[in-house]
A and B are shown apart, each in its own frame.
Chain A
């Protein structure tokens, strides 16, 4: 079974600083997708960024970027110029293409951006 691990239950960062959230996963498959989702206190899950495993280039979305290390099965999220609105739970998620679209989520990292 696939597993996703997020080793940092809680993190904090000063506004305008940069923070990196860690994620590791375990799979024997080669064709999969990785995601970072954000869940603010309002509780609606919002997609932050997506990475296809077959793409070497790391995904970037504005202030959010990933460091995807396929051999190490590592998928970290870097948030640059942190803003107060980035305060939320962040979940790393894994999806195997072969078995459809059910996601396996990690336990989450609670990020607090401090003024």
Chain B
């Protein structure tokens, strides 16, 4: 049983560019959450997708957007990249109902130069 997978593993972008990160949830999971983890800090919640809609959103600007596909996989898009967007981006999956555990992927390390 494959766990949560994310691609790419590493990414280097230039300020002002746009980036798309991808996540496939664990088998049987229908909810995907995205987190930003700056170096040396705990993860910060960006948003959560359930039934192809954004269900909750953390305190992140509109430059951060996402999408969930019918197969429950998800994308995180970041526009107009800033140096401060450099971080590890974690995807976590869970079921929408009744199971309060999130399974995390290995993350995508984004570096903005």
- Give A contacts to B, CB under 8 Å: 4, 33, 35, 37, 42-47, 50, 91, 95, 97, 99-108
Contact = CB atoms under 8 A, between A and B. Distances in A.
Chain B interface category by residue count: 20 to 34
Contacts of B43: 45, 91, 103, 105
Contacts of A100: 48, 55-56
Nearest to B6: A44
A46 B94 CA distance: 14
A102 B105 contact: no
Contacts of A102: 33, 45, 48, 56, 58
Interface of B: 31, 33, 35, 40-45, 48, 55-56, 58, 88, 90, 92, 94, 100-107
A33 B94 CA distance: 15
A104 B46 CA distance: 11
Contacts of A105: 35, 42-44
A64 to B, nearest CB: 15
